[in-house]
Structure 1
Amino acid sequence: MDGEGVPGTVETNPGAPDADPPARPARRRPNRWKVLFVGLFVAGVLGTATWVLLGSRLLVVRRIDVTGERLVSRDEVLAAARVRLGEPLARLDTGVVRDRVESVQAVETARVERRWPTTVRIVVRERTPIVVAQHDNRYLQIDRYGVTVVASAARPRGLPVLSVANPTQSDPALRAGLSVVRGLPSWLGRRVAGVDVPSTEAVSLRLADGVTIVWGAAERGPEKIRLLHGLLTASPRRGVKTIDVSSPEVVTTK
């Protein structure tokens, strides 16, 4: 049995060197010229874009559109906005322009938009008069906030006449009368020809058919309207000239 290997064993050469481990792929060093080129390219693109937006004549204001104006003229809106033709559109501060336009008394709100490439659009929402008050031989059209929208020598049609001693925004009687008018439903509001407010606790409505509604204080409007709906839409009133709902618990007619 000499010279035969032992079954189940593998002969090794103890003097042979170990096998080399697998070689790792070498890391590629970044190409400095490529990095420099990309950096210069990006800087050039950004610089060109900045010049186009802010310095060139390509994207400047060439047209100003105004919409929604009726009580104020387009020239008034443009004068308040102070947007210069030729100004870079990107530099336009739309918030500042909006505030300028809203400083016009007849303007309630405004919206300013950039319309690329060369247009500015100003959308105006004007105040809506709900009453007219006579003061110093002038008729003041007043909105729901007590702001005088426009004054004229002739009385405008379609607005109830508000009678107060001092038709200014700070007058409590004016605010009380406006509060009542704002809360009226359309079926009643369109029948009101006048509103008399000698004091904040004594508001009266004069209807176009000659009936006077003694409203009293501005509070409890929904209750008073519910009572009036039953009285004014029921069977014809015979000889009724005054309806007093100042105390909703006790309604009287005359």
Structure 2
Amino acid sequence: MDAEGVPGAVGTGSDAPGSGEDAPDRPQRPARRRPNRWKVLFVGLFVAGVLGTATWVLLGSRLLVVRRIDVTGERLVSREEVLAAARVHLGEPLARLDTGVVRDRVEAVQAVETARVERRWPTTVHIVVRERTPIVVAQHDNRYLQIDRYGVTVVASAARPRGLPVLDVANPTQSDPALRTGLSVVRALPSWLGRQVVGVDVPSTEAVSLRLADGVTVVWGAAERGPEKLRLLRGLLDRSPRGVRTIDVSSPEVVTTR
């Protein structure tokens, strides 16, 4: 009997499930879309145009150039001295300005301790000057040299400036050991004593003396052991009888007055 006449008979060959044309279709990957060449070209040209325009605005146009130079903090030096040292030219593209180079030029001015240079868009350069602060004055070759804490001569003048103690050393130059010792003593003085000092004598690095406004001389000695000397000196100044002209704290173990 043929298989077709048997109820429930299973077909074979090409009629079997999962074979031939009756097999389920497999999912197919979508075809890759090729990039639109014109779109890529357009985007590239657009980006190049934007970059070119920005470069032209920053470096080539007259829109973002130096039109104003502000200087602040100057007192001992003039604005003209700062500008001459900075060498920033009006009309120069602001983006091309090397602020580090300008800062170094300004700091080369003797009276300038530090400087800061800033771009202030769209057209301004701002120079902030911090000048050196003299703490003593020394006489040399009929000139009065105002010297800062580092031993740098800030200003030289024919007249003695007021408000600064006179530092008496043989060679008031930055390399002189006696000058450096005298400056280290002056820097360490508290305000209650510093405002009384009118003179500092340093014949050698081991023999510093302070001259006070009331005529008292303090023999300080070497720069070392400053805190001990200050503590002893304050007590002696408060308790010393009238007529004491010299207080010797050069050796804190043996303090003398006369």
Q: TM-score, normalised by structure 1?
A: 0.92
Contact 2:3/2:9 (<8 A) preserved: no
**Residue 229 of structure 2 corresponds to residue 224 of structure 1:** yes
**Residue 187 of structure 2 corresponds to residue 166 of structure 1:** no
More helix by share: 2
* 223-232 vs 176-185, which moves further: 223-232
Q: After superposition, what is the alpha-carbon deviation per residue over 1:126-151, rounded to whole angstroms, capped at 9, x for unaligned?
A: 00000011111111100001111001
Post-superposition offset of 1:25: 2.3
Post-superposition offset of 1:248: 1.3
Post-superposition offset of 1:253: 1.3
Specify the SS of the correspondent of 2:4.
Answer: coil
Number of residue equivalences: 252
Post-superposition offset of 1:47: 0.7
Identical-residue share of aligned pairs (%): 91
Post-superposition offset of 1:11: 8.5
Q: 1:5 to 1:206 in 2, by over 3 A?
A: farther
Post-superposition offset of 1:252: 1.2
Post-superposition offset of 1:6: 12
* Rounded Cα–Cα distance in structure 2 between residues aligned with 1:210 and 1:6: 141
Q: 1:9 to 1:194 in 2, by over 3 A?
A: farther
Say what the alpha-carbon RMSD is for the aligned residues.
2.6
Contact 2:220/2:248 (<8 A) preserved: yes
**Residue 244 of structure 2 corresponds to residue 240 of structure 1:** yes
Gaps of 5+ in 2: none
Q: 1:167 to 1:25 in 2, by over 3 A?
A: same
Q: After superposition, what is the alpha-carbon deviation per residue over 1:24-43, rounded to whole angstroms, capped at 9, x for unaligned?
A: 22222211111111111111
Q: 1:198 to 1:9 in 2, by over 3 A?
A: farther
Post-superposition offset of 1:225: 1.3
Q: 1:39 to 1:6 in 2, by over 3 A?
A: farther
* Rounded Cα–Cα distance in structure 1 between residues aligned with 2:205 and 2:247: 19
Post-superposition offset of 1:239: 2.0
Q: After superposition, what is the alpha-carbon deviation per residue over 1:161-181, rounded to whole angstroms, capped at 9, x for unaligned?
A: 111111111111111100100
* Rounded Cα–Cα distance in structure 2 between residues aligned with 1:161 and 1:9: 128
Post-superposition offset of 1:232: 2.3
* Rounded Cα–Cα distance in structure 2 between residues aligned with 1:80 and 1:214: 44
